[in-house]
Structure 1
Amino acid sequence: MPDWFSLETLTNLTQEYRALGPLFGILLPFLEAFLPFLPLVVFIVANVTAYGLFFGFILSWAGSVAGSYAVFLVIRKYGRARALGFVTRHVKIQKLIKWVERNGFGPLFLLVCFPFTPSALVNIVAGLSDMKKNTYFWTLALGKLIMIFVVSFIGADIKALITQPIKAGIVIFLIAILWFVGKAIEKRINKKVEADFRSISNERRNKKGESLE
């Protein structure tokens, strides 16, 4: 059985990846926006390993922003079509849409900043909301700038992660922190969505009650 985690194997894989060219480095993060089960973090690490921290980061950032914005534009244009009605009718989606329309840039920016939050859901909700196209583009550009740079910086020297267990432990610890913080923010936003939705429902019931008196 070959040693998949040897420096020789890693070097060969990096050279093969680099040989595919920079467009491949952009294409994979782009596709992840349409196929969210693909591992964006792995693609980012592969890019910085093959092309270096700066160019690997640029390729990952450009591909991810372009893909996410493309999903946003597709949902904006076709999201309310009958074929995609199952998306717009989802109760959670409806609640998130209304909450985003009330709160705007801030919550989406926070979600985009963390690598383990549901970016596909964010793109869909933004596309179905009344958020302006330019606003969402800059939300993506700035949020993913932070997120992808952090992941790129952590994964820039993957050889050291193999040969230096202490550094590998620190990286795993940092990734765990990013995961927990991202999930905590996601959970907090979900609670605010539910609270805001209940508040709106109570206001509507009160107004109906007043109109009947």
Structure 2
Amino acid sequence: MKEAFSNITHKNWLIWGGFLLLLVFLILNRQIITLLVNRDIKATQDFLDNNMLYAVMFMLVIMILQNSFTVFPLILVISINITLFGFINGFLWSWITSIIAAIAVFYCVRYLFQERLIEKLKPELLEKIDANGFAYVFQARIFPLVPTSLVNILAGLSTVKIWPFVLATTIGNFLYFFALALIPAGLLSEEIDETLIWVVLVGAILVYYLLKLVRKKRNHT
């Protein structure tokens, strides 16, 4: 009983400490946060250009926020990274930080918020996620209408293991982020951008089924 109470207290301290750090971050960066909310990429770039190390860490925190609450559109975060760091580095930093952010949210939900959130979901939904694991995460990553935060939260509430979650996130985000990165890079016109994105996504689904086939063959050998 005493140990259980101690665990609850520890969790509460972690939760409130996290919220306090988030509040401090938002207050200290309220000017640039406002620019992000207003989707002013040029002004955000001008603000961050003077300190690239700060820009790198700031965009990591923004990606964590995006993976937690979907406050900012993903395309906006990727666009700012590409504007700051160039196409290749901006795409890679967006991809890497998305994996870090997804893992952070996954663990926070599973070990800090699971008891508070799991009661609000239908058991049937979690059963489907539990049964599909890698497939659920991968398909959700490459489907444009599914918020990244929702994927992380549902995976954290389910029994999906960390390594299938990380693998599906790594592959899915690489494909989807690359498609999104082409837009701010100016490689797509307004007429064909959506078409090319869907081509990439269909290709991603084919990659998934290929991986699934390889896995089945390994299990049979």
- TM-score normalized by the length of structure 1: 0.64
Aligned counterpart, 1:190 = none
- CA apart distance, 1:56: 0.2
* Larger RCO (CA within 8 A; separation ≥ 6): 1
The secondary structure found in structure 1 opposite 2:152 is: helix
Answering whether residue 82 of structure 2 is matched by residue 48 of structure 1, we say yes
Answering whether residue 183 of structure 2 is matched by residue 149 of structure 1, we say no
Structure 1 residue ranges without an equivalent (≥5): 1-8, 162-166, 186-213
Number of equivalences: 159
Q: Is the 8 A contact 1:30 1:65 kept in 2?
A: no
Structure 1 counterpart of 2:119, one-letter code: R
Q: Deviations over 1:120-169 (max 9, x none)?
A: 22212211211111111111111111111111122213xx88xxxxx234
Structure 2 counterpart of 1:19, one-letter code: N
Q: Is the 8 A contact 2:41 2:79 kept in 1?
A: no
Answering whether residue 72 of structure 2 is matched by residue 38 of structure 1, we say yes
Q: Is the 8 A contact 2:142 2:175 kept in 1?
A: yes
Aligned counterpart, 1:88 = 118
Measure the CA separation in 1 of the matches of 2:144 and 2:64: 15
Structure 2 residue ranges without an equivalent (≥5): 1-39, 206-221
Change (3 A) 1:18 1:107: same
Change (3 A) 1:169 1:131: same
Give the share of equivalent positions with the same residue, in percent. Answer: 27
The CA RMSD over aligned residues, in Å, is 2.8
Structure 2 counterpart of 1:136, one-letter code: F
- CA apart distance, 1:107: 2.3
Aligned counterpart, 2:103 = 69
Structure 2 counterpart of 1:105, one-letter code: F
Aligned counterpart, 1:113 = 142
Measure the CA separation in 2 of the matches of 1:56 and 1:127: 28
Structure 2 counterpart of 1:170, one-letter code: I
Larger Rg: 1
Answering whether residue 205 of structure 2 is matched by residue 168 of structure 1, we say no
